[in-house]
Amino acid sequence: MPWRRPRKHVERPIDVGRSVEESLEHAAEGEEEEDLVELADLDGATVVEAATGEPDESRAPSDLAVKLREAVAGIDLREAASDPDVASGRDASRARSVARDAPGVTRPSRTAPARLPPVARDRALLSGGGAPPPKPRSGCSTSGSAAALPEDGVDLEVEAARGLRLKNPVLTASGTFGQGVEYAELIDVARLGAIVTKGTTVHARPGNPQYRIAETPSGILNSIGLENPGAAAVAKKYGKAWPTLGVPVIVNIAGYSVADYVAVVRELEGTPGVVAYELNVSCPNVKGGTLFGCDPMLAAEVTRAVKAETDKPIIVKLTPNAPDVVAVARAVEEAGADAVTAINTILGMKIDVRKRRPVLGTGSGGLSGPAIRPIAVHITYQVAQAVSIPVIGAGGVASTEDALEFLMAGASAVQVGTATFADPLAPITVVEGLAAYVRANGLASIRDIIGAALPAKRASGPDTGYQ
């Protein structure tokens, strides 16, 4: 932890009755207790405030603290009163959470837990533990004022797919941004070009067994497995919320068969806020998930079937695990796709050398993050020269320069995914950075640099450089 001050070495007694694992866990508990005290000291808070993330009851909580508590709890207090699960008491824990966090409710004093959970620590860091509310960053406004934004007055508009023009080229990536409403409590999602939802299937799916996430150098492996409540539940639950976000919603859909994809689209047609569909024919951590995306004919079949069900743009998400990605891109274009996303995650594995077995519950998973960006840029570069429909670049975008690489490689838009786990404001930062780049280089619009690195553009276009 970069904020930690040097600490005296503490000799901890050894209990021979404990196993090695138990001893290590006991030591970790001691460390976390010390971290808790130090965190409280740094924030000018009590230990209880640091542990709970709750401000002092003698002062009114800030708007930001309330929003952050709502986001952590995953509950919209405005809807809590009408929630049948809460009203009926079927979800007791949720009801208690709503009651606890509702503004104006006096909570009894609590003692600090012996061990500070990670979530509690994060909440303490975010809320300030009773300290003056932090100055909001550009991604989140607590005042509701119409202050000028860094991207105002800059032409960032792009055609992300045929028939889909967006105010800027920055989208979120499926599986990294929930359904959009979760992050709306933390950042102004209306500043994004669009959001792409978690993958949706016909029926509810529980996802894969644990472990589902494994860190790797410059990335992560995930084996979530398309966990979702099913198309009907998604439409019912989020159909009211999406229009209020002020940002176009692209629903990512998946299935085991062509009929599955068609059924999802039929269920979601007419859902407010939805402007396009992204066909996930390329998820590497689902049994049979790469089948459609690896075969040009099957990918085209799915595209053609879905296209017949809707007038909305269809985006096909390509897999880098296909023998010939370009062939798949050409096939779905001929079948009516309005854009392609390049790329989905790359199949990978991590071995626990102590247990001598794979870390992930399914054995393998999808690698994402900066580690795959050069591969994604290369495939984008190839596909952009092979098709006439827009290409959306995805894979390791974490900064403005990363986004510029994809745009210059021929992408019309980019998706920010894994980076949001470390910094929810990453997509907003990219929007601001692209606006600054346009201004600094005297460009008429961001479209001036789309495909700038492609052979035809290099031969005739100016050298815009990067400032």
Catalytic residues: 283
Q: Give the closest residue to 392 by CA, choosing from 336, 341, 332, 344.
A: 341
The identity of residue 240, as a single letter, is: K
Provide the residue count of the chain.
467
How far apart are the C-alpha atoms of 101 and 98, rounded to whole Å?
5
Q: Tell me how far apart the 2 most distant CA atoms of the chain are, in Å.
A: 75
Q: Which helix (H) or strand (E) holds 166?
A: strand 164-166
The identity of residue 74, as a single letter, is: G
How far apart are the C-alpha atoms of 340 and 387, rounded to whole Å?
9
Residue 194 — left, alpha, or beta (φ > 0 → left; ψ -120 to 50 → alpha)? beta
Task: With both helix axes pointing from N to C terminus, report the angle between 373-386 and 400-408 in degrees, rounded to the nearest 10.
Answer: 30
Q: Give the closest residue to 440 by CA, choosing from 452, 432, 451.
A: 432
How far apart are the C-alpha atoms of 325 and 198, rounded to whole Å?
23
The identity of residue 337, as a single letter, is: A
**21 contact partners, CB below 8 Å, separation of at least 6:** none
Which residues are registered as beta bridge partners of 277?
251, 314
Contact present, 348 and 367 (Cβ < 8 Å): yes
How far apart are the C-alpha atoms of 73 and 94, rounded to whole Å?
9
How far apart are the C-alpha atoms of 432 and 98, rounded to whole Å?
35
